[in-house]
Amino acid sequence: MPHSQNYTVRWAELDPNGHMRHSAYADFAADQRVHWLASLGFDVKKFAELRLGPILFREETKYLKEIHGGEAIRVEGRVTGGTPDGSRWTIEHTLYKADGRLAATVTVDGAWLDLDRRKLTAPPAELAQAMAVEG
């Protein structure tokens, strides 16, 4: 990584206070992860072929600035931790307002699930390498 994706906040993502609802932050982070994995050649179809799926153990959001409807935002994601074989990983997402101010961070800890055995597994070497912590 890092990988970024641009979005515009829609009405459906707002809460009664007129700003982005708490669960929308997680939704944008998840969407950014899906786009990033697809850009590496691991789209939904590829995961189905591999009988492999990502699962989350922890998700934490820190809210720093309000985001309102119609605002353009940028979501960046980067791998910040993981095991050498790529079986477990931590990704930190940063959500930025259009003017560049940091609005929130969403940090997730996850792993790969063998969909047939229903057990944790290491991903293919290509995916493990792509998810290695840069340093």
CATH of domain 3-130: 3.10.129.10
Structure-block tokens of residue 82: 């993981």
- Read off the pLDDT of residues 17-70 as tens digits, 9 standing for 90 and up: 999 999 999 999 999 999 999 999 999 999 999 999 999 999 999 999 999 999
Distance, in Å, from the CA atom of 41 to the CA atom of 130, rounded to the nearest integer, reads 11
Partners of 82 in beta bridges: 89
- Read off the pLDDT of residues 74-97 as tens digits, 9 standing for 90 and up: 999 999 999 999 999 999 999 999
- Structural domain boundaries of the chain? 3-130
* pTM of the model as a whole: 0.94
